[in-house]
Structure 1
Amino acid sequence: MTPIPSLSLASLAERLSRLEAEREVRHAFTRYMALCDVPVRPLAGESLAALFTADAIWEGVGRHYEHAFGRHQGRAAIVAMLSRYLPPTPHFATNTHFVTAETIEVAHDARRATGRWIMMQASGYVDGRAELIGARLVVDFVPDADSPRWRIAHLRTERLFDAPWQVNPRAALPPADGSTPA
């Protein structure tokens, strides 16, 4: 067994800070993906807007997504664009995101991080069409000044492929209060 080199308290604190940053980055990204699913029930007090910095950039890159989505800057512009695809807008009957091949790199000073993922999106549209989409996401994050949370500063998504898909959506989620839907 290799002996563990002695570490200073300062170096341990730096390592811990970077590990906590990585965890917060992962949390912010997985909440973003979950809030883009349909149907979804956000956690109490949760919103897409809260996941982005005030001057964040969301952009589609590559031949397909640059044209389909373009570039949006600012929290309000990003949420407005995403809202075109989320309830109550009739776009998706069901939409689920799966992410894999994760790498998260946190700067040594823990003031910036970049995450990379491959995403699979299984979508069923209200018009009956369905497709499976593969995309590459590269996302820059910065820590929030007022909390331990990290926020999305720049999200880039590039479509890699799409394929036909058959989706058999289940009934909508039951009401939050646990009652049976009418």
Structure 2
Amino acid sequence: MNAGSSERLVVDTLTRYLALCDVPVRTEGELGDLFTEDAVWEGGGSEYTEKFGRTEGREAIVEMLSAYLPPAPHFLTNVHLLFPGVVYVKGITARGSWKMQQLSRYESGAAEVMVAKLDVTFRIGPDRPRISAFRTERLFSAPLTGE
């Protein structure tokens, strides 16, 4: 794989991850395949460090994320929009940073718009890049009103 194709595949992996976290779109089982066995998922900044903490290992990450996804009663609808970012590839490791917007309507009926910074490290394997470290930090949020 050359650096250009690795960068594209890294973005494809992150985009697929965010799509699998959208509601109502979700494919069971595929979420875990996007992470390495020893992956780390963590919240950063004062708000997300407290809310999400640090989760280690593929199975634990999928279990944590599943608490927010159907059939768990959390989101009625949820969509992630990924903005262009930067990706650096060095050997079998790639690191990237992106801004992401999330629009959510919760089971409670409340709705919000949120922007976060994503810092993600990938391990590039023979079949695809997998997330080995995922860090999200909330930068902005505001309630949405109206229908």
Normalising TM by the smaller chain, what interval? over 0.9
Q: Hey, which of these two has a bigger chunk of strand by percent?
A: 2
What runs of 5+ residues in structure 1 fail to find an aligned partner?
A: 1-15, 169-182
* Runs of 4+ that moved beyond 3 A: none
Q: Residue 65 of structure 1 contacts residue 157 of structure 1 at CA under 8 Å; is this kept in 2? A: yes
Give 1:23's aligned residue.
8
Does residue 150 (structure 1) correspond to residue 129 (structure 2)? The answer is yes
TM-score (norm 2): 0.95
Alignment partner of 1:88 out of 71, 78, 89: 71
Name the structure 1 match of 2:145.
166
CA-CA distance at 1:41 after TM superposition: 4.2
Which residue does 1:172 correspond to in 2? none
TM-score (norm 1): 0.77
- 1:107-166 deviation line (CA, Å, top 9, x unaligned): 1x3x1101111010000001101111110000000112xx32000000000000101113
1:47 equivalent in alignment to 2:30: yes
Pick aligned residue for 1:136 from 117, 132, 138: 117
Paired position in structure 2 for 1:79: 62
Residue-pair matches, total: 147
Unaligned runs of 5+ in 2: none
* Higher relative contact order (CA closer than 8 Å, sequence separation 6+): 2
The 3-state SS of whatever aligns with 1:101 is coil
